[in-house]
Structure 1
Amino acid sequence: MGNEGENKLTPMMLQYRQVKGEIPPGAILFFRLGDFYEMFFEDAQKASPILDVALTQRAGVPMCGIPYHALENYLPRLLEAGIKVAIAEQVEDPSLAKGLVKRKITRVITPGTMLDTSMLSPKQNNFLTAINRSGNRFGLAFLDISTGDFGLMELPGLPELETELHRLQSRECLLPESLLSAWERDKSFPYAPSQLLWTPLPDWLFSFDCADELLRRHFSVASLDGFGCRGLNTAVGTAGAILHYASENLRQAVGHVRKLRSCHSSEYMVLDNISQRNLELVEPLAGGKREGTLLSVLDETKTPMGSRLLRDWLLRPLATKDAINSRLDAVDALRDDPLTLAELREIVTSIRDLERIIARINVGSANARDMLALAKSLEALPGVKTLLSSFETPLLAGLSSHLHDFESLCLKIRAALHDDPPISLMDGGLIREGYNSSLDELRRAASEGKEWLASIQTKEQERTGIKSLKVRYNKVFGYYIEISKSNLQYAPGDYIRKQTLANCERFITPELKEIETKILGAEDKSVALEYELFQELRQFALGFTAEIQESAAAIAALDTLASLSECARKYNYCRPHISEEPVLDIKAGRHPVLDAAMKGERFVPNDLLLDGDDNRMMIITGPNMAG
């Protein structure tokens, strides 16, 4: 729009244009107006058909909108279409604003930076990735902002990059603008998941020097060598870019991202994307849900954290004998003690998604129900620790040592919050009576005022002789006296007419307005104080972030091991003997997916022996064998 068009815009539309200029190109702006998020101009035209909302016009300006409380219902539709959304909130009380209400961008939501549980799969990570190229090698970083899982790696070539993008099932990938231009010019984009959104960023964000400084400052360390990053300059550059992007979109620091892990391919078996697909590890060849996959058979986990970890274990099998045997020792120990296994699984069932709860607490989006879920989950840890004490297996003993004591945090949460608080933090009803004396006084003032109102209704009914007289309330007029048309002749002269309706009239009196001021003043102050107390509680929980994340990781690993033990018991699996010799010797082997799918029918087991001597497998092929 040119200067002439800008001059014709209202002050609010000029404010909209200013805010719109602060967001990433291509993002749609949700502009808060009262109880709605409104979209204007090209944003409205773009969003209307995707959101299935009416496109209207006002003064020639295209517009559409959604109720603010329905954001979670509409937002996923835009994100699934690969469209970023910027949220502009009102940052001052409209009743106190002088002129236009101030608004600012509070967050930018992209497919890779989602935090709301309603938009995330509980059983799968939501990874944001970043890549850069140095010669033929690639640096790759990944971050699940909803859990704080942050890692990097360097890869020898494009096939390995494609493998990792498919394993991570990234929804959004950051890359330097120059790399995107080169791929567009050469038409050499990597084979990537279909849902992947490519997001170009300035090249300088991927530089090692910039990233090294940003990461060291974030983790408060003098060097990144402790994270295993020595010599991984290209990967460090991608990690810096990803952390910058996440912080910018959330409009705050990501305090729950506390570790950076370097992934070395020698520790794991590399399964390329073709192998992942053909083996149907986590997705069936036919697409759709995960039924018919190895994951669907082995996933007996009780927590979302465990389910996500099991998926990771299947896609990154261990490649060293000692590490494999360590896991098998733990699975064996749990399987051999079915009573303790059952008790552990029952307790773990009560543990919520600690990884994502502590992430929401850190970014300030956790509500009172999240805090209670946190307390309930942490209260289960001592029982888990007691049961684990009976095992001497090193892996299980190590998990037990990572379960911390949160008694002080749980007691504070229980003392502060009602057992069934509302979802909204701005309507009161969060804090228990007796937790804060100032809050109790405000509540008493509001309660006494309402009792006074009830007495006024009785007094006015007696004074006027109008038995149907009512004292009512709405947000527009506050408290008022309502008299039906048939009784208007009995209205006293000191009543001040406020509104005339078809069947009644509404009045106010000086006494009524005085009490209203006391009640509403006390209620407003009470709600504001409750929110302040809740923020203090959330801030108190932040101090336990590291311990909660460590305990969550231990519970996820225990849940995954227990799931494998339950499957071993359920399907009568036996422990394999791991050899570093070139031998594969299977006795009475059963395909786990087919065996489970037969549902009671007998699966005929098969033996298999392959070695480097006489028992080999050969594939004979030729020019006409493709069909």
Structure 2
Amino acid sequence: MSTQLTPAMRQYVEIKSRYRDCILFFRMGDFYEMFFEDAIRASRLLDIALTSRDKEANIPMCGVPYHARNAYLSKLIQQGCKVAICEQFEESGGRGLFRREVTEVVTPGLVFQEECLDARGNNFLAAVRFRPPFAYAALDATTGEFFYEACASGEGLADALYLLSPAEFVFLEGEGMPLPEEAGGTRGKLGRIVEGKLTTSLSPAAVDDFLIPEGLTGMPGGDHPVHGVVRAALYYLHLHQPAALAEISRVSEKEGQQYLAMDETAVRTLEIFSTLSGERRGSLLWAVDRTRTPMGARLLRAWLSAPLVDAGKIGERHGAVEELVAAPADRKDMGERLSGMADLSRLASRLAQDRSGPRDVVALASALEILPGIRELLGTAVSPLLRGARDRLGDHGEAVGKIFAALHDQAPLGMKDGNVIRPGYDPRVDELTHLLTHGKGMLAEMEVRERERTGIPNLKVRYNRVFGYYLEVSRSHLERVPDDYIRKQTLVNAERFITPELKEFEAKVLRAEEERNAREEELFLALRESLKGYLPDITRGSEAVAEIDVLLSFADLAAANAYCRPVVNLGRDIVIENGRHPMVEKILGRHAFVPNDCRLDPRETQVALVTGPNMAGKSTYIRQVALIVLLAHAGSFVPADEAEIGVVDRIFTRIGASDDISRGESTFMVEMRETSRILSGLTERTLVVLDEVGRGTSTFDGLSIAWAVAEYL
């Protein structure tokens, strides 16, 4: 069949053969075209017309405009596709085929286009070992975050991945989805987490041969169970986005015992990140999020995902929040400065990967310019957390000065738009810009001069992209056209001409524009390269901003809603006075919610049995206690008048029940399985929240089960 194809189509087929697992965006003029199976698939996913390139050969084809590429790319990425972007370059000697080559492979977990990213959320690629010993490595290439965790069981792995919510999964051949007996019955649970996401198996030999970047710190040893998944994540990044490896400088271990554990059921039923119907509005994150920056929003989610269990570290967060609550003027000033700050973390990542355009670099400087003011406002901070964050903000005056000395404040997105370099920075750019900007005046003078010379009152000097510069004369004055005018184009009501003088002017302007653009690009690339030396300080500053933003968010929340500072200690009591449900209170208003007390202690009230009629608020109350405990461990003040909370190591919930038809399990079976897991996994520091135990069977049997569970607890 290839012998019947045009040269361009043969070129397509050859390139596509190297990217069989991708949809190939093949640049042809102003469009990215797709052919054959790619066209059929993409037309369905993008809901665009499917046509044919050659009626005789009947080659399926569809395409998207180049300027709207990222919008269509986002749709494909969201549906789990991998896309290879093939660009078109200059013709060889001005003849023959355009040179085309793939410049980037975009996958759901390795995407850098802003249109494809959630500014307030991470975009993780997860390399997973689905077989014992269970482990995963999580990499967000847009921010440089990279960490790993070894999990004791398949249940633990499933819970970790549920919290992480990766955009894409990779695994080594032979380490894919486990057999039911290997995962402790969690194959279905893992399957639901992975379902609909792009998953790729990697050759162990290829991963082993891959050389780890020399500058990477924190790499686990070869005998560590996570070594393989860390290598797999780096190899996959190298395979599709090799430039992004420069941004990955460290990998760290996430030690589960340092954080309050929550399984998938607890995260879902407590509606921490989304409601049971999948909406953000109504979730805990929605209720407490007052962050101003994308970095802060991502860190807040991380803190809610992994609350601390070290009473000392929790107290440090509470102390920082208390100090900010006590300084409303400074808090307001800091909030105003942070509002609208660009995403420092992702801008730094783009710079490291040579993806930054002029506008990105100016945005980076504008963000860095805010940091000295924040540092000054924290100058008298007492809290160790605030002092540490203040010191990490850094001094970026040299980098900011370099950027603003070189670039226009309103720099364009890309180099092709011109007007990148600030006047006075480079004499040659100034000279060429002067020629271009004063060209209009020179044309106006030429127009006046030619009108006087020819006596044609409506003679015009004009320009278009097809014909360049020309003189336009209406048909009624054609007899006055001098002999040195050369006819260029005939219209219905006018004729267009050129002259040697106009042609010379055109050549001079075009040369000037090309030379200026080339010189501006040279200067910009040199500037961008010189800024890479500041990246470690910028990254530290970005992390400090995120921490300050979250603490500021907690302080604003506490001040606006009369939250109190909880006392978190090593005891085992949970004492809450006039507690409120954070989400219900935000929806109804503070004064519409009736507060409630709670007292649990290992001496007299280890178990609280809540009874009442339907719609009395029992479920709201028990969720409220769990949410207050979670917020306290995350470092936030809590919605109560007073609260004393002993450190909790994990939160278990069993709220509501429904059958799981896909696994052949009845409501009763689901309930018993969840209850069994809770009873076998709890410790003396575990908070257990059970709602309507034994509902999935008869009244007598249900009461017996509930009684037995209460006695065991």
Instruction: Give the structure-1-normalised TM-score.
Output: 0.92
1:624 corresponds to which letter in structure 2?
A: S
Deviates more, 1:535-544 or 1:429-438: 535-544
Alignment partners' CA distance in 1, 2:156 and 2:453: 87
Q: CA deviation at 1:14?
A: 1.4
Q: Write out aligned runs for 1:580-599 (5 A).
A: 580-599=570-589
Corresponding residue number in structure 1 for 2:662: none
Alignment partners' CA distance in 1, 2:192 and 2:91: 50
Q: Is it true that 1:50 corresponds to 2:45 in the alignment?
A: yes
Alignment partners' CA distance in 2, 1:13 and 1:228: 45
Q: Is the 8 A contact 2:112 2:142 kept in 1?
A: yes
Q: Write out aligned runs for 1:58-207 (5 A).
A: 58-59=53-54, 60=57, 61-91=59-89, 93-94=90-91, 97-133=94-130, 136-180=132-176, 190-192=191-193, 194-207=195-208
SS of 1:468's equivalent in the other structure is coil
Q: Is the 8 A contact 1:449 1:518 kept in 2?
A: no
Q: Is it true that 1:243 corresponds to 2:220 in the alignment?
A: no
Q: Is the 8 A contact 1:284 1:293 kept in 2?
A: yes
Q: CA deviation at 1:234?
A: 3.2
Corresponding residue number in structure 2 for 1:624: 698
Q: CA deviation at 1:603?
A: 2.2
Q: Write out aligned runs for 1:363-382 (5 A).
A: 363-382=353-372
Alignment partners' CA distance in 2, 1:184 and 1:66: 44
Alignment partners' CA distance in 1, 2:507 and 2:493: 28
Alignment partners' CA distance in 2, 1:533 and 1:603: 61
Question: Paired residue for 1:489, among 473, 479, 492?
Answer: 479
Q: CA deviation at 1:182?
A: 6.3
Alignment partners' CA distance in 2, 1:67 and 1:333: 53
1:26 corresponds to which letter in structure 2?
A: D
2:300 corresponds to which letter in structure 1?
A: L
Corresponding residue number in structure 2 for 1:8: 4
Corresponding residue number in structure 2 for 1:18: 14
Q: Write out aligned runs for 1:342-357 (5 A).
A: 342-357=332-347
Q: Is it true that 1:515 corresponds to 2:515 in the alignment?
A: no
Q: In angstroms, what is the RMSD of aligned CA positions?
A: 2.4
Alignment partners' CA distance in 2, 1:346 and 1:448: 42
Corresponding residue number in structure 2 for 1:399: 389
Q: Is it true that 1:35 corresponds to 2:35 in the alignment?
A: no
1:514-566 deviations in Å (ceiling 9; x for gaps): 22111100111111211222222222222211111100001100110111111
Q: CA deviation at 1:312?
A: 0.8
Distance 1:42 1:418, change over 3 A: same
1:512 corresponds to which letter in structure 2?
A: L
Deviates more, 1:314-323 or 1:233-242: 233-242
Deviates more, 1:237-246 or 1:123-132: 237-246
Q: CA deviation at 1:133?
A: 4.4
Question: Paired residue for 2:274, among 271, 276, 283?
Answer: 283
Q: Write out aligned runs for 1:209-608 (5 A).
A: 210=209, 213-215=211-213, 217-219=214-216, 227=218, 229-230=220-221, 233-288=224-279, 290-447=280-437, 449-608=439-598
SS of 2:150's equivalent in the other structure is strand
Alignment partners' CA distance in 2, 1:443 and 1:87: 34
Distance 1:231 1:321, change over 3 A: farther
SS of 1:86's equivalent in the other structure is strand
Alignment partners' CA distance in 1, 2:80 and 2:181: 22
Q: CA deviation at 1:584?
A: 1.5
Q: Is the 8 A contact 2:133 2:152 kept in 1?
A: yes
Q: Is the 8 A contact 1:169 1:193 kept in 2?
A: no
Q: CA deviation at 1:155?
A: 0.9
1:85-132 deviations in Å (ceiling 9; x for gaps): 1111123x3485442221111111111111122221111111111112
Corresponding residue number in structure 1 for 2:666: none
Alignment partners' CA distance in 2, 1:264 and 1:167: 15
1:202 corresponds to which letter in structure 2?
A: S
Q: Percent identity?
A: 39
1:77 corresponds to which letter in structure 2?
A: K
Q: Is the 8 A contact 1:472 1:479 kept in 2?
A: yes
Q: CA deviation at 1:463?
A: 2.8
Q: CA deviation at 1:615?
A: 0.8
Distance 1:595 1:181, change over 3 A: closer
SS of 1:131's equivalent in the other structure is strand
In structure 2, runs of 5+ residues without a counterpart are 610-689, 704-713
Q: CA deviation at 1:398?
A: 1.0
Alignment partners' CA distance in 1, 2:436 and 2:510: 7
Instruction: Give the structure-2-normalised TM-score.
Output: 0.81
Deviates more, 1:364-373 or 1:264-273: 364-373
Alignment partners' CA distance in 1, 2:93 and 2:419: 24
Q: CA deviation at 1:342?
A: 2.0
